[in-house]
Structure 1
Amino acid sequence: MEDAITLMDVDDDTKGKNVVVESTPDTKATPWVEKYRPHSLADVAAHRDIVDTIDRLTNENKLPHLLLYGPPGTGKTSTILAVARKLYGSQMSNMVLELNASDERGIDIVRQQIQDFSSTRSLTFGVKLPIKLVLLDEADAMTKDAQFALRRVIEKYTKSTRFALICNHVNKIIPALQSRCTRFRFAPLDAVHVRERLKHVIQAERLDVTEDGITALVKLSNGDMRKTLNILQSTHMAYEHLTEEAIYLCTGNPLPKDVEQISYWLLNESFSTSFKRISDMKTRKGLAVVDIIREVTMFVFKISMPPNIRILLINDLADIEYRLTFGCNDKLQLGSLISTFARARAALVAAAK
């Protein structure tokens, strides 16, 4: 690929802020998302096609600049850190610069830290690839000026440095950067992979989790492994026996049976009765209206109704959820929810005639 590089100047004032340092495995105080983060490419739970492709490129010393994108908790950062461990081993702290662009998003970070790191020459004792690696997490948070500056740095230092950009929204990365990287999309994890990894953690931590509890964790995660482990750990702190109810109570999400009950009231009861009963359940169980609306929206997809009425109902529910995100009054929006179903119910009756 190129001649081996021989020397590297390491700044002493980094204070461990931007350089990847292998953490010592800790015990009870360690968040499980870090404790059970994959340490090798073989440990990555899903996206085997992507992982195998990157693994093959590293074995052949053909690693390109990478752009890994997709929803949170799908293994983007874990994959590239596993690649770095494989490439550099004990030299990882000297050969890898890790930055989080959501904290350091301006043009100065590109002109100073990234350019300084890329321009210095590196020790190559015991590493498989004689080039350095810059990991830029949350790259979609970078300003446009910073991204254009990064493009020039990538062009200038391609012979000595590889860049790995990680982001959630690829459309926020300028085309000039996208075209210089090999792109890999990390989709939400399949329920099978989430369940498999979840059972591994449960066994390792010797937790008492029921089967319906595992199903609830998988459902609430929506393919986000980080979210799954955070819910599992927080529920374990509150309950010894982890059931479906305990998990839903800990997260504040309405239970499936509660969603069915609320949907029944919305479809069958009068405005005043529905408002009173839903308000009572909301207060008693500490539910948020926005969570009720999200779950009811999912329930709407399951019930039988004409497509045009379903579309109108879902659009109205989306409008209510949107208003709630801007801090609109909960009681008013709960009233809007009930009114929306009253209109849908009237439309269903009219369609039946």
Structure 2
Amino acid sequence: MSEAAAEDRGREIWIEKYRPQALDEIVGHEGITERLKQYINQQDLPHLLFAGPAGTGKTTSSIAVAKEIYGDDWRENFLELNASDQRGIDVVRDRIKSFARASFGGYDHRVIFLDEADALTSEAQSALRRTMEQFSDNTRFILSCNYSSQIIDPIQSRCAVFRFSPLGEAAIEEQIEAIAEAEGIEITDDGMDALVYAAAGDMRKAINGLQAAAVVGGVVDEEAVYTITSTARPEEIETMVSAALDGDFTAARAQLDTLLTDVGIAGGDIIDQMHRSVWEFDLGEREAVRLMERVGEADYRITAGANEQIQLEALLASLSLDSE
């Protein structure tokens, strides 16, 4: 790849360039898109609640719904807010109400998309519930969240709830292949497998990883993907865990230090990879259960603010002691 070509690819954000523009273009959630199209065709759109992990299509589906309803006028009739940035009660009282009250013609209602709604305070959610009631005649709300349990019940009961699961390998491969072909990128089979593994069901992460690897230049292979995404190879995680289970804490700690220091992987990411890989290791049921218990405890402590390296070393030490 020439330097000019690499520079051109670096100028565009592919997650926006290749964002699906219609519900039919969204991959991996055919059941959800079919139900949404039925609402649109029947001109009976309810309030919607999209729940699921990052990068699974919640925002894309919301924008696609607006484009299907309003066509070229979608920007004038679609308000997008991020609750994690504007999480207080004022954003509900001011911006949402101002948009809902604004006069408009030609359509039965406008759409307000509130991303990361689980970041709203309970007071703001209560205000949002009252706003949803007050402007139900001319406004529809689409709420997006990672955890629906953080949304108060009165809001959930007013919405049709759609749960976006992590995207399957086939869906990610299909999208990556289409982008690679459009951009003229050569991607090897092991490079594709590495992208799918690193993405862990997150389409946005997969596309960003592909773009980053392509900008570096050359063929997108396994080495390029793992380097650019700062992801440990599955076999490296397995080597570390197996050494600890065999009672060799020194070897397990050395592998952990390599991943944290030399490769630069965050401790939380190592925990996630260990959790994803537990059942892929050649472990007995008792060992797998023991490992899962230790992973859960370390994850909780790291989330609570404990030192990542200390907690991971304690996890490996615990596994080593259990082997004795």
What TM-score do the two structures reach when normalised by structure 2? 0.88
Distance 1:277 1:213, change over 3 A: closer
1:113 corresponds to which of 95, 101, 107: 95
Is the Cα contact below 8 Å between 1:313 and 1:344 reproduced in 2?
no
Distance 1:205 1:313, change over 3 A: same
Distance across 1 between alignment mates of 2:96 and 2:191: 45
Is the Cα contact below 8 Å between 1:67 and 1:178 reproduced in 2?
yes
Matching of residues 135-214 of structure 1 within 5 Å:
135-214=113-192
Is the Cα contact below 8 Å between 1:191 and 1:223 reproduced in 2?
yes
- The reply to whether residue 78 of structure 1 matches residue 57 of structure 2 is no
SS at match of 2:98: helix
Distance across 1 between alignment mates of 2:129 and 2:312: 49
**Matched AA of 1:176:** P
For residues 103-133 of structure 1, the C-alpha deviation after alignment (integer angstroms, 9 at most, x for no partner) is 1121111111111211222122xxxx42111
What TM-score do the two structures reach when normalised by structure 1? 0.81
Distance across 1 between alignment mates of 2:35 and 2:145: 19
Match of 1:5 in 2: none
- The reply to whether residue 32 of structure 1 matches residue 14 of structure 2 is yes
Is the Cα contact below 8 Å between 1:76 and 1:186 reproduced in 2?
yes
**1:45 offset after TM fit, Å?**
1.0
Match of 2:307 in 1: 328
Distance across 1 between alignment mates of 2:93 and 2:125: 11
1:131 corresponds to which of 99, 103, 109: 109
Q: Determine what percentage of the aligned residue pairs are the same residue.
A: 36
**1:226 offset after TM fit, Å?**
0.8
- The reply to whether residue 312 of structure 1 matches residue 305 of structure 2 is no
SS at match of 1:187: coil
Distance 1:123 1:209, change over 3 A: same
SS at match of 1:342: helix
**1:290 offset after TM fit, Å?**
4.8
Which range is displaced more, 28-37 or 174-183? Answer: 28-37
- The reply to whether residue 259 of structure 1 matches residue 237 of structure 2 is yes
**Matched AA of 2:20:** P
Distance across 1 between alignment mates of 2:29 and 2:165: 8
Distance across 2 between alignment mates of 1:35 and 1:156: 37
Match of 2:39 in 1: 57
Structure with the largest fraction of helix = 2
Distance 1:177 1:297, change over 3 A: closer
Distance 1:260 1:182, change over 3 A: closer
Distance across 1 between alignment mates of 2:12 and 2:44: 35
SS at match of 1:80: helix
Distance across 1 between alignment mates of 2:182 and 2:243: 43
For residues 327-351 of structure 1, the C-alpha deviation after alignment (integer angstroms, 9 at most, x for no partner) is 4262x445424422322322xxxxx
Query: How much is the aligned-residue C-alpha RMSD, in angstroms?
Result: 2.4
- The reply to whether residue 92 of structure 1 matches residue 74 of structure 2 is yes
Distance 1:47 1:305, change over 3 A: closer
Is the Cα contact below 8 Å between 1:245 and 1:255 reproduced in 2?
no
Distance across 2 between alignment mates of 1:74 and 1:277: 32
Larger Rg belongs to: 1
Distance across 1 between alignment mates of 2:213 and 2:273: 21
Matching of residues 195-234 of structure 1 within 5 Å:
195-234=173-212
1:248 corresponds to which of 203, 219, 226: 226
- What residue ranges of structure 2 are gaps of 5+ in the alignment? 1-7
